[in-house]
Structure 1
């Protein structure tokens, strides 16, 4: 096929418009490569725009400038203690590559106008392990006004589940105890002031993923990087074992897009593909429990597998304890679990996990427990203190919607035994569990599961609760219960890639020209979540590394292999 037989010819084709995609195209464009983003959805931003918008990046320059003492050696020790060896995706080479790219990538993006700030106190999720940092290694961007996107605003993905308020993700923990602490109240007051100022100026201001992807998209617009929306990729084109382009469906027609330097896949996982979840994932699972991007349907992973790509960790996801609201929509449970006056039990009525631990850890433990004792769903048990003081989702403490009770979503009873019967839990077992927990909670200790001992647990705790901000007895009626499922914010198993994000085949060899990053890949984080923004951080880093590899190879073997003696490209 000669080059003229392609519909579009460019250097770098990126499938998907999440954070790693934007990072890659900005780097490639800056080096002089022609780039094109192809997005299946009608809006730009991917899962990153729906997220908290945080990047977990060990030994990054932004956190160091804020006074966080970190080092490459500390990061390696932390990876060894938390991630460990989960196969090729967590190899020493991949870990080293991840860490080595952080500094130049962050500095590059800062020069592109992306304003980062350290997330103070957003601790590593395992700060108690070697190399862990209680002050955290996560960074976020400053708030963003989507109005800056101009005509692209209508093409920008903004989460429908996050309210349109100028709240930074790093401020969420304080905001959840606004009715309990002066610091929390001051945080909410500041946010209210920002909101009022934005209203007066007739503009909207956003935090979280909308802020991160807003700044990234603004940089891409300024660089005049072309972005196709509403264009699903249906195939990856290989010639003599090399990825040379893609086939996409655009405006009802198939379009062949040539990529001289490479194709980067950043298409998300397969959380919303029930067939793939049944084939590869853990059981039980349901697409009704996921809060992942609706576009996480896995067809690009399948297309790569059809072209010989290897996969790993396909049974894994970024698990997050989730309830299902009366209208059928999933509600993930994060900060609620760290608050005092609540516990989570299996269907036998027994605790089996530190409720304040990371969402990934609790979700995985739920599956492990379910192998021997029914634990899906588990039950969140709380008393009147918890329900009157703390948010449940975005619903303030002290207010319980009537349909939560009438629908059976939230069960309510005047005694633990009555609550147990409503949940079909053995009343004696639940009473014994609650009494044992309460006797230790009043002393501020949890000898069984150590809730409140990590800085991460305490980050979402209630500072007014002494001596442990995460522990308080479950003893004040009425009592409440909510069924909890192992939901997810995306799958994290997929294509196997090397240290430069090059996709590998089933024989362990690189497929030249084919790269991947993000949730369509087997994560460098393995089966753990080391800190807030670990998935986004890795997506950015390996998108960056893919671009660097394309840049280096542009004038070398790819150019030589794609040019005939008469100057006409052919395969």
Structure 2
């Protein structure tokens, strides 16, 4: 590391250097400019958007103005009660002062982003994941954006992260639950027709409409382009620069050059976690684990966290991730199970053939239950998803329609099929008598729509992805009609959720609780505000946005220096090469 000032050995000078182009980072860059300082975003991969672009693109924001306008009653007190009931106290990351800073940021941040051209809408019915607890909301607190036309990005369209396995379906969040049961209900048929109509109309007009995380990040990227805020792709940060104990900037690799970037107001780390770093997962994470199980973005490899640690950052919750039960396709690609776990005629068991949780609970809760069960001496990593022929015939598995079981799935062993539960148990290495007993107990309750053991289908969230054509409980139906199927489920994830500790201003903290001067962080590279739980759809993204907004405003009000005169290329000149 070397030091310097604005006049000697810096290649680039800016005010706020944002490392990473996830949602929190792009939000921070926009906020910085709106508060009178300049920002530069550097992204190590060829594509912009991070894991946010690969997600559902939803933000969980308690007491937000968009949901209130939609008629959802909420309040600061309800939000506090819900945090207390779900998140609790997991240490400094979940402190009340950080929680209050987050809640303070919600309304002004949403209004700011709307003013910057991000059109939010309430995700009606996408319930809080623990709606039955104090302060929980059955109608939800989550926001998404309108559909986004990626063609409006022009030459930048190719650099927006769009995953190959996500078809260009112009769908909203609420459409997904209906699609997952199509064509079982009139609503699902209307949804299919509506999406087909949107797609046809867009195609005729030369529009490329997308929803989910692509839409959210697309709106943000377009706002950055319009504001002439530079974003560099293929530009990883290799180190931070310091002077007298303060972070002064960073070294960025770009087009074969090592550029020293001066950041007068600070550096914001928004580069994600370490989901794809096998060594870090083995060092810090729950076991057993594998980077092959993650669905995080390809750049989620942890070196930015390691750099922060080298510069004195404290870390916490490093064993935690945004768990999501996943199967591994024959080609090695993970496919996570979200709506699948709420469908009837199926249940999950450990290696002993016993159920151990409410399968329709939030993905993070079920993932944690897998590890807790495994730690108790039962083989639950992996677990088995057991279905009968009705489930396999009627419902999507990933993006594969019900009724379609590819031959490769069977020949590769990805899915096992048998004419009886006992035969299926033998194929899975499970004691047949044990699996039969579990099946009989499950079925006895399921025919009545009841789950006395784990209460599946009793919460509003459980039922969100259930089959409304099944009564009295859309999540329960007996597993009794052969042939029977078994899928292997692992505790996959969509990113790690532990990392550097930050305070209410998003400043990175040392072990003694003092801030690392000039260094901020947000997103999956930080110890999460929601600790070891996931209160609602988009909690990680909502928190990342909020603390990116907070960091930029704090940096703008800092006394680190005056307005910079940047010498970087304007945004339109970045070829990304």
| TM-score, normalization by structure 1 | 0.97
For 2:159 and 2:337, the matched residues in 1 are separated by 30
Structure 2 residue aligned with 1:129, among 109, 126, 133? Answer: 133
For residue 482 of structure 2, what is the aligned residue in structure 1? 477
For residue 181 of structure 2, what is the aligned residue in structure 1? 177
For 1:34 and 1:129, the matched residues in 2 are separated by 43
For residue 386 of structure 1, what is the aligned residue in structure 2? 391
For residue 21 of structure 2, what is the aligned residue in structure 1? 17
Structure 2 residue aligned with 1:40, among 44, 51, 54? Answer: 44
Describe the superposition over 1:223-244 as per-residue Cα deviations: whole angstroms up to 9, x where unpaired. Answer: 0000111011000111111111
1:178 CA displacement: 1.8
Describe the superposition over 1:138-163 as per-residue Cα deviations: whole angstroms up to 9, x where unpaired. Answer: 00000000011111112111122211
For residue 537 of structure 2, what is the aligned residue in structure 1? 532
1:524 CA displacement: 0.1
Is the aligned partner of 1:201 residue 2:209? no
Is the aligned partner of 1:251 residue 2:262? no
For residue 572 of structure 2, what is the aligned residue in structure 1? none
Describe the superposition over 1:296-344 as per-residue Cα deviations: whole angstroms up to 9, x where unpaired. Answer: 0000000000000000000000000000011111010110010000000
State the SS of the aligned residue for 2:48. Answer: coil
Confirm or deny: 8 A CA contact 1:113 1:215 kept in the other structure: yes
How many residues align? The count is 559
Structure 1 residue aligned with 2:454, among 434, 449, 452? Answer: 449
Is the aligned partner of 1:94 residue 2:98? yes
Is the aligned partner of 1:288 residue 2:272? no
For residue 230 of structure 1, what is the aligned residue in structure 2? 234
Is the aligned partner of 1:353 residue 2:357? yes
State the SS of the aligned residue for 2:14. Answer: strand
Confirm or deny: 8 A CA contact 1:117 1:141 kept in the other structure: yes
> What are the residue-to-residue correspondences of 1:147-158 with 2, within 5 Å?
147-158=151-162
For 1:232 and 1:291, the matched residues in 2 are separated by 21
1:202 CA displacement: 2.2
Describe the superposition over 1:8-55 as per-residue Cα deviations: whole angstroms up to 9, x where unpaired. Answer: 001010000011011111111112211100000111111111110000
> What are the residue-to-residue correspondences of 1:257-268 with 2, within 5 Å?
257-268=261-272
For residue 405 of structure 2, what is the aligned residue in structure 1? 400
For 1:174 and 1:541, the matched residues in 2 are separated by 30
Which range moved further: 487-496 or 25-34?
Answer: 25-34
For 1:558 and 1:263, the matched residues in 2 are separated by 12
| TM-score, normalization by structure 2 | 0.96
For residue 515 of structure 1, what is the aligned residue in structure 2? 520
For residue 464 of structure 1, what is the aligned residue in structure 2? 469
**Unmatched segments (≥5 aa) in structure 2:** 565-577
> What are the residue-to-residue correspondences of 1:291-330 with 2, within 5 Å?
291-330=295-334
1:170 CA displacement: 2.7
Structure 1 residue aligned with 2:5, among 2, 5, 13? Answer: 2
For residue 570 of structure 2, what is the aligned residue in structure 1? none
For 2:489 and 2:195, the matched residues in 1 are separated by 31
For 1:80 and 1:239, the matched residues in 2 are separated by 41
Confirm or deny: 8 A CA contact 1:122 1:136 kept in the other structure: yes
Which range moved further: 362-371 or 165-174?
Answer: 165-174
State the SS of the aligned residue for 2:561. Answer: helix
Confirm or deny: 8 A CA contact 1:159 1:210 kept in the other structure: no
For 2:281 and 2:434, the matched residues in 1 are separated by 34
Structure 2 residue aligned with 1:412, among 403, 414, 417? Answer: 417
1:475 CA displacement: 0.3
1:197 CA displacement: 1.0
State the SS of the aligned residue for 1:558. Answer: coil
**Unmatched segments (≥5 aa) in structure 1:** 563-571
For residue 278 of structure 1, what is the aligned residue in structure 2? 282
For the aligned residues, what is the CA RMSD? 1.1
1:199 CA displacement: 1.5
For residue 432 of structure 1, what is the aligned residue in structure 2? 437
Confirm or deny: 8 A CA contact 1:56 1:531 kept in the other structure: yes
For residue 120 of structure 1, what is the aligned residue in structure 2? 124
1:200 CA displacement: 1.3
For 1:219 and 1:67, the matched residues in 2 are separated by 29
Confirm or deny: 8 A CA contact 1:56 1:532 kept in the other structure: yes
State the SS of the aligned residue for 1:398. Answer: coil
For 2:332 and 2:158, the matched residues in 1 are separated by 27
State the SS of the aligned residue for 1:314. Answer: coil
Which range moved further: 509-518 or 150-159?
Answer: 150-159
Confirm or deny: 8 A CA contact 1:443 1:467 kept in the other structure: yes
State the SS of the aligned residue for 2:386. Answer: strand
Describe the superposition over 1:154-207 as per-residue Cα deviations: whole angstroms up to 9, x where unpaired. Answer: 211112221111011232011111211101111111001111111212221100
For residue 163 of structure 1, what is the aligned residue in structure 2? 167
Is the aligned partner of 1:373 residue 2:375? no
Q: Could you list the runs of 4 or more consecutive aligned residues of structure 1 that deviate by over 4 angstroms after TM superposition?
A: none
For 2:121 and 2:6, the matched residues in 1 are separated by 45
State the SS of the aligned residue for 1:559. Answer: coil
